[in-house]
Amino acid sequence: MCDPLALVLIDERQAVGDSRYWSATECLSALRRGDISAVELVDGAISRIEASNPRLNIVVATDFERARSKAIAADSALAAGGSVGPLHGLPMTVKDSFETAGLVTTCGAPELRHHLPKTDAVAVDRLTEAGAIVLGKTNVPLFLVDWQSYNDVYGLTRNPWDSERTVGGSSGGAAAALAAGFVPLEIGSDVGGSIRIPAHFCGVYGHKSSQGIIPLDGHLMGPPGTLAVPDLLVAGPMARSPLDLSLALQVMAGADPMNSSGWGLGLPPPRGRDLRDLRVAYWFDDPRSPLEEAVRAELEATVDALRSRTNVVEIDIPFTLDEVLDVYAPLLVPIFSHVMSAPARYLARAARPALPMLRLCERLGYNLDPIRAGALTGAGLSHMKWLDLNERRSRLRWACRTLFREVDVLLTPTAAFAAPHHKTKGSSYTRTLRVDGKRRHYADHLCWIALATIAHLPATSAPVGVTPDGLPVNVQIIGDYLDDRTTIKFAELLSEVRGGFQPPP
């Protein structure tokens, strides 16, 4: 992979101190040229957090004193002319599910409000070893189980585009920190769209990596010290520029400590260096999750802008959202069953796909759509049923492999709607949304992110426009397994045609 730093030139007319919306790549270029110091970058980020965080509640734990000390050391190392890492001197924040040595990590849980890890999560360690400087932690929902970011430890995080709207979850604080101009780089995790949906709601870039290429040691979704990685879960970078996604992925990806003696990672290069080299398909229509008209308009305008510049291919999608969700939902819900409410947990233990049980759930207030019915089935999953679902997952993966012989990337919505208003009452099982005047189940968040998750595929969430209500819209760029560089490269090329990050008003 080429060095993204060599591809970017900062507008020399831009004031050196005005680094609020510089990309990570721009910050690093300025540092290497001596136009700005690490101390100036860190102090600028701290000033922005101190000024705006009281209103938005994005950064929930800070480490400013240690960050300033590291910035001083980073400047000394640069002055000495020694070898430095690819992220040397770059300020960033970290999602509050990744353990950080000496900095509280709660995962939004009151029982972990005093959890002070002794070591960094592996992904965080790789970023800091490359020179990144951690300023603090960003907010998440309780144990990451929501598409909003609020909890009883730190409260509610507000969207920089509209403070009455959600930032998404679970990497909602991470996306908001980027949109607000606090820092240029973040790290997220994703099992139910937790990178891609917050990126969409906040108008930034987020990359769900191919399954298994970024270690998750030290990422909390269970008690601290848990070694097993939950099925379907991945980590990935979040930023305001595709070049930054590429740079951070290069730092974080690789064998986990348990396997490092036996294998390495060699991601293939992008399938094309120019839009004309690529075959692009799109999938915007499925009766399971119709698009909000304002979102549809931005996505269709994106395809229209691409038609004269790339090979837009009309194809028949070989599966439906229902077929994908029938496999995905039952495999997803056991990951979260340990933090369900007591009634839902009781039903989960007793769950069977029989109609009488579903009717019981409805009488208790759980008006189940097919997603939640599948989730209920999954909560009481037998090993025999898991084996059946895993076989169906493997067949979906092979169908995707066939699809990506015909095309290079598949464009889909990230979610069917732009950022909704805050809705903290109830749960993911009982809440509803209103989209174009019609009531939708809250679990509709899962529909369009499910394919990439269940098939282990890379997916980059990239901003392409803004609705008439002033809310950002992202497109989801899905690629073949391990084609992470292709989806990120396409996001870069797309930004030259349409979209790209723009600051909130």
Q: Where are the alpha helices (DSSP H) in 275-415?
A: 293-306, 321-336, 342-350, 355-363, 370-379, 383-406
Closest CA to 58 of 240, 181, 143, 219: 181
Alpha carbons 310 and 305: distance in angstroms, whole number: 9
Which residue type occupies 282?
Y
Domains along the chain? 4-256 (3.90.1300.10), 321-387 (no CATH)
Alpha carbons 298 and 293: distance in angstroms, whole number: 9
List C-alpha distances in Å: 245 to 18, 250, 254, 315, 408: 22, 9, 15, 29, 19
371, 443 contact by CB (below 8 A): yes
Tokens of 146: 């929501």
A 10 A CB-CB count for 78 gives 18
From first CA to last CA, the distance across the chain in angstroms is: 35
3-state secondary structure of 235: strand
Q: What is the pLDDT along the chain (505 residues), one digit of tens a residue?
A: 444 443 333 343 343 446 899 999 999 999 999 999 999 999 999 999 999 999 999 999 999 999 999 999 999 999 999 899 999 999 999 999 999 999 999 999 999 999 999 999 999 999 999 999 999 999 999 999 999 999 999 999 999 999 999 999 999 999 999 999 999 999 999 999 999 999 999 999 999 999 999 999 999 987 898 888 889 999 999 999 999 999 999 999 999 988 888 889 999 999 999 999 999 999 999 999 999 999 999 999 999 999 999 999 999 999 999 999 999 999 998 887 655 444 444 444 444 444 455 556 555 655 556 676 676 677 678 899 999 999 999 999 999 999 999 999 999 999 999 999 999 998 777 899 999 999 999 999 999 999 999 999 999 999 999 999 999 999 999 999 999 999 999 999 999 999 999 999 9
Alpha carbons 150 and 108: distance in angstroms, whole number: 8
Tokens of 74: 């980073």
Tokens of 490: 């396409």
pTM score = 0.93
Closest CA to 495 of 244, 292, 248: 244
A 10 A CB-CB count for 215 gives 23
